[in-house]
Amino acid sequence: VDGDAINLFDILPLFRLNDGDGGFYLDKACVVSRDPLDPDNFGKQNVGIYRMEVKGKRKLGLQPVPMHDIALHLHKAEERGEDLPIAITLGNDPIITLMGATPLKYDQSEYEMAGALRESPYPIATAPLTGFDVPWGSEVILEGVIESRKREIEGPFGEFTGHYSGGRNMTVVRIDKVSYRSKPIFESLYLGMPWTEIDYLMGPATCVPLYQQLKAEFPEVQAVNAMYTHGLLAIISTKKRYGGFARAVGLRAMTTPHGLGYVKMVIMVDEDVDPFNLPQVMWALSSKVNPAGDLVQLPNMSVLELDPGSSPAGITDKLIIDATTPVAPDNRGHYSQPVVDLPETKAWAEKLTAMLANRK
């Protein structure tokens, strides 16, 4: 379907996702865009998950978060006074959906990463209008442009933070071509108050690249838990080379590509604390932290505008909580080695458990 013959309200089985939403939304679509200054660079081609409000028969409102690759593509296009061509795919292979939600580096290809997960090249097709690489097997493809320097009110929408965003000026997408299978499957993402589908999708997809990026610069990093609200809170375990080292890791987490917009609070723990084991994390917080010196507050830092605590929207103070054991030259406190059970404790615990289980 082309041009003025397009009517998204007829083609798609749209419905309101949250009670207070301002309209119908596409929230599990992959949006494909290219770097206008380097369009043939496969790695700089971006596949991302961005929610879009259906505002007219062939018009969408799209939110390009400034820290995301599509926002950089749009910025480059608008500097040249050009629209940004995009392809939007619905009903995608779960692997490419997972990669679209993963905060990769700017020149890392989502298709190559999806291929690595499949252990075979990821299949792609050519979109008929834009010629972009799109996921093979998608149910629906919408092609068009983000119109240069055009903004309209979009929202409100029930966001992944569990709060509604208000109506804000967002970009306008004009759809010029729609291709779809016969009887296409329409897919939406359930999000809102945690835990929902988006937490299970984005949580692991956030932990892994953040861990890889930190590990490349700080081999001492042991694990990263960024499961909570797309990494607005991260818990990181690390060995320490010297005093203050854990805080340096926390600062770097906040300045990774994902951290610039999301990592608002970091809890640093020792290497013997599992950041995915909340009782262990609570023990570290309660026994290791001295508020006089272990809270590092960073004023006027960037965060995505959807963070409801930011003021003004997009600006926040960030916080590092250092729950690690001090090492030289930081000699604060009087910490012993952690308490260790006697060698026979585990065996006796197993015997007592068995005795209680068999008690009549």
Averaged over 8-28, what is the pLDDT? Answer: 94
- Separation CA 283–CA 335 (nearest Å): 14
Write down the pLDDT at residue 67: 87
- Separation CA 263–CA 142 (nearest Å): 32
- Separation CA 144–CA 32 (nearest Å): 11
**pLDDT over 90 at 106, yes or no:** yes
pTM of the predicted model as reported, rounded to 2 decimal places: 0.86
3-state secondary structure of 270: strand
**pLDDT over 80 at 87, yes or no:** yes
User: Which residues are the active-site residues?
Assistant: 159
**pLDDT over 90 at 197, yes or no:** no
Q: What is the mean pLDDT of the chain?
A: 94
Q: What pLDDT, in 10s, does the model give residues 128-172?
A: 999 999 999 999 999 999 999 999 999 999 998 989 998 999 999
Backbone angles phi, psi at 210, to 5 degrees: -65, -40
- Separation CA 254–CA 262 (nearest Å): 8
Averaged over 311-333, what is the pLDDT? Answer: 93
| Percent of the chain scoring above 70 in pLDDT | 100
131: alpha, beta or left? (left if phi > 0; alpha if psi -120 to 50)? left
pLDDT-derived band at 206 (thresholds 50, 70, 90) equals very high
Q: Please give the DSSP secondary-structure letter assigned to residue 2.
A: B
pLDDT-derived band at 65 (thresholds 50, 70, 90) equals confident
**CATH code, 197-323:** 3.40.1670.10
The mean-pLDDT minimum among 99-103, 122-126, 275-279 falls in: 99-103
Q: Are 243 and 249 in contact (CB under 8 A)?
A: no
Write down the pLDDT at residue 333: 83
Write down the pLDDT at residue 334: 83
- Separation CA 74–CA 172 (nearest Å): 12
Q: What pLDDT, in 10s, does the model give residues 213-233?
A: 999 999 999 999 999 998 999
Superfamily of domain 3-180: Electron Transport, Fmn-binding Protein; Chain A (2.30.110.10)
**pLDDT over 80 at 205, yes or no:** yes
What are the boundaries of each domain within the chain? 3-180, 197-323
**pLDDT over 80 at 239, yes or no:** yes
pLDDT-derived band at 192 (thresholds 50, 70, 90) equals confident
Asked if domains 3-180 and 197-323 share a fold, the reply is no
Averaged over 49-73, what is the pLDDT? Answer: 95
**pLDDT over 80 at 307, yes or no:** yes
3-state secondary structure of 131: coil
Find all residues with CB under 8 Å of 120, minimum gap 6, and list them: none
Which value, to the nearest 10 degrees, does the dihedral of the CA atoms of residues 262, 267, 269, 274 take? -70
Averaged over 334-358, what is the pLDDT? Answer: 89
**pLDDT over 80 at 360, yes or no:** no
The secondary structure element, H or E, covering residue 251 is helix 245-254
Write down the pLDDT at residue 198: 86
